[in-house]
Structure formats: C-alpha cells, structure tokens
Amino acid sequence: MPLPPLYKYLNVMGAKLTLQNQCFRHAKPSTYNDTEDLTIRGVFDGELEDAWECLPEVLSDNLDKVLTCGFPMRDQVTAMQHAIRTRPDLVKVLQGAAHRQDEERYKEIVERHIEDINVLMQDYRVLCVTPKKNLEYMWSDYAEEHKGVMIRITPFIEKGSKFQLFKPVSYVEHRPVLYPSAKDFVEEALFGDKEALTRDKVERIIYTKTLEWEQEAEYRLAIALRAGEEPWETLPYHPEEITELHLGLEIEPEVRDELLSLAEGINPDVLVYQVKRIENGKLVSERVRPE
C-alpha cells in the first residue's frame, strides 16, 4: 500500500538545522514523548512464578533443541533436560519441586531480558512524521506555537529512498505484553535466537503508542545502528524529497525569508505555502510560490 502524504512539523531552530544541513534528526527512543518503563509484568501475562513452574514442561517439549541461554543457566538446564530425557516422569516431580531459589533465578532472567531490550532500543534512530496536515495541536506543540514550519517529505523512489520504509504506529490503551504467556517467554529465553527475538520485540515497542497520542496518526522510520557503527543522530535526504514548505501562521518575517531561501536553495521546485486561519477557525495552506 502506498504511503500517504507525510509531514514533519518543526520549530524554528529545527527547521533551520534541517534545511541548512540537508539532514533530518533521527531521535533515540529515550527521547520519546510516550514512554513506559518495561517491567516484568510487561514481558508476559501472569505472575513470575508462572515462569519457573512451566520450565519442566518447556524442557519436555524441547528435549532435542540446543540451548541458547548463557551460563550458568545453560549447565543447570542441560542437566534437567538430560534427566527428563532419561526419565520422562520427572516432569511432574520437577514441577512440584520449585522453590524460592528458582523464583529468584527466573526473576534475574526476566530482568536481564528487559535490560537487553532497553539497551538495544538505544541503538535505534527514529524519524517521526504524520499524514495530519495543518493539525492545530501539531502546530502548537511541535512548531513553536505556529512560528515554525511544516515540511512534506516525499520519497525519491528512483534513488532507493529510505523514506519508503515509513510504517504507521499502532495505538493501544496499554502497551501489549511482549510474550503471550510465561511459557512462551521461557521457551524463547532458553532456545530462541536472542538477537532476532530482541530486535523483533524492540520494533513492536517502537511502532506502538498509547491512545492519548492517537490524534497524531504517526508514521515512523526506525533504523538500527550497524555493528561497530559510530552513533549518529542525523541522516541526509535527497534534495527532491523536500517537496512542500508550509510557513507557520505566526512565523517571523526574517525567519520566513531565511527558510524560503534555504528551501529553494535545496530544491528549486519546492512548493511554498503560507498557513492561514479561515472564518471557521480551520487552518489552511495557501500557495505562495511558485506564483
């Protein structure tokens, strides 16, 4: 499905930097305006004891799989796996033998998983845009009370534009748990591809926001740092990808002239609009250039 027209609202400084440097700032997830601390309860439905109580069953279902968990957990689970393979009836015995030490061990596993996700989150850079043109709320909050601008970003497909990869954000009442059940979590924690699974969970977090932000109808472009790559915060765009410049209702004349000059210097074919308020209070964009 083709992308809708997408817009980036910017304050004065953000607009100047974006146009002067011909780059968009891609933020770290830690700077999001919608963050929820990832806790044990956010990993799977149920209580912590559900995780250690289901371990024998998980091992019984995966006797021939290779463990991917780290040490010393791998040695302990390997021994249990061998015992169950030798005596399948031990599953029920082991389920009834869970004790406080097991609970603490699993709490540590879950907390380590959360830490891995939070660390990997910071290796992503995200550009946020919206299809909402001239939304009052966006002009007020993101464009410095109408003093900034709104830029339309159009992917230059012939040059393999990264902007083709924008995805819509899903809006939910509460962030969904990362695993349907404790059993699913334990199975993936013991036998799963750690990097692939963690990246999958990170992307689910990145492309989900709570309902209070639903009016933004956000699209996001999330790019992960490559192994060994130096951290960055900006990425260049093709000049042709800045296709519209909408000047805020309260933009200062000198700022207006500077941004016009910068935008037209990047893309001489950029369409320039002045935002106005009509009788019913609605914001509209009126074309001013080219005349």
Tokens standing for residue 170: 């899903």
pLDDT band at 37 (very low <50, low <70, confident <90, very high): very low
**Which of residues 230 and 49 earns the better pLDDT score?**
230
Q: How many C-beta atoms lie closer than 10 Å to residue 170's C-beta?
A: 12
User: What percent of the chain is predicted at pLDDT more than 90?
Assistant: 47
pLDDT tens-digit map of 277-290? 998 999 999 999 98
Taken in order 224, 156, 158, 169, is the CA torsion positive or negative?
A: positive
Least confident of 131-140, 154-163, 197-206, 275-284: 197-206
pLDDT of residue 43: 75
d(CA 289, CA 291): 5
The answer, yes or no, to whether residue 160 has pLDDT greater than 80, is: yes
Name, in order, each residue with C-beta under 8 angstroms of 62's C-beta and a sequence gap of 6 or more. 187, 190, 191
pLDDT of residue 211: 92
Task: Calculate the average pLDDT of the chain.
Answer: 87
Cis peptide before 56 (omega within 30 of 0): no
Q: What is the mean pLDDT of residues 84-91?
A: 85
pLDDT of residue 233: 93
pTM: 0.82
Closest CA to 262 of 14, 7, 9: 14
Q: What is the mean pLDDT of residues 158-186?
A: 88
- HSE-up of residue 39 (Cα within 13 Å, Cβ side): 8
Name, in order, each residue with C-beta under 8 angstroms of 119's C-beta and a sequence gap of 6 or more. none
